């Protein structure tokens, strides 16, 4: 079954390359229905807004790491109040205090990869387990490491179809959609943060340069 599903995803990725984001997301919704989940970082609500115009019962998953900025939590709450979408907050097994007790304080400094795995990757993996496909807002323009992202592909580690409707979008495309549809935006994006992650590991900066600043780390491991 996985082989057939993978082949279907790769074929759709080729066919829908260059298609509007709404068409790409619409394909995923039509293909998988509530077997699709949308992961959201709550930097802005573009995907949630787009999804709400197609179908209202596909869940949006937000990983609540325990380290988020208050503005990010506020954005999640605003999205939940604005759209008739199921919002699922996925949490790590350990609280921040529990993690400190087991691994020592500031694990994000001593072992950022482990911290990201425990607080981001594993909670999302658990939340995505029931679904056959998932979508996210990753874009090629965000970093050199993302420049070859397919609009629809195969998530080998999770054994799921991965849909990136905004993969080909530029920053200008995002801004245009936000303005045209009055989309909720995390206030931090107007305060010098181009990319928003956990509070201890995020600084102001262009693109993703403010993430894990001063280290060689560029991704949390979710993608």
Say how far apart CA 119 and CA 126 lie, in whole Å. Answer: 12
> What are the backbone angles phi and psi of residue 3, rounded to the nearest 5°?
-65, -40
Catalytic residue chosen out of the listed positions 115, 198, 201, 220:
220
Identify the CA nearest to 50 among candidates 135, 161, 160, 140.
Answer: 135
> What are the backbone angles phi and psi of residue 44, rounded to the nearest 5°?
-155, 170
Residue corresponding to tokens 């070859």: 148
Are 88 and 57 in contact by the 8 Å Cβ rule? The answer is no
> What are the backbone angles phi and psi of residue 216, rounded to the nearest 5°?
-90, -5
Strand ranges across the sheet with 133-135: 87-90, 60-63, 36-39, 133-135, 160-163, 152-155
Token duo for residue 91: 């949490």
CA 118 to chain centre: 16
Residue corresponding to tokens 């057939």: 4
Q: Is 198 a catalytic residue?
A: no
Which residues are designated catalytic? 220
């Amino acid at each position: 079954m996985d082989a057939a599903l993978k082949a279907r995803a790769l074929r759709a990725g080729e066919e829908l390359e260059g298609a509007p984001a709404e068409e790409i997301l619409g394909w995923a919704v039509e293909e998988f229905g509530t077997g699709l989940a949308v992961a959201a970082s709550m930097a802005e609500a573009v995907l949630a807004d787009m999804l709400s115009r197609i179908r209202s019962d596909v869940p949006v998953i937000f990983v609540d790491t325990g380290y988020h900025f208050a503005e990010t939590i506020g954005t999640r709450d605003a999205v939940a109040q604005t759209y008739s979408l199921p919002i699922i907050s996925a949490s790590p097994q350990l609280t921040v205090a529990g993690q400190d007790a087991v691994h020592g304080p500031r694990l994000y400094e001593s072992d950022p990869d482990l911290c990201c795995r425990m607080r981001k990757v594993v909670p999302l993996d658990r939340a995505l387990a029931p679904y056959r496909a998932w979508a996210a807002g990753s874009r090629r323009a965000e970093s050199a490491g993302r420049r070859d992202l397919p609009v629809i592909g195969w998530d080998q580690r999770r054994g799921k179809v991965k849909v990136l409707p905004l993969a080909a979008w530029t920053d200008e495309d995002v801004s245009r959609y936000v303005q045209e549809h009055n989309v909720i935006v995390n206030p931090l994006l107007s305060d010098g943060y181009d990319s928003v992650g956990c509070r201890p590991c995020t600084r102001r900066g262009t693109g993703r340069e403010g993430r894990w600043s001063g280290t060689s780390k560029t991704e949390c491991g979710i993608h």
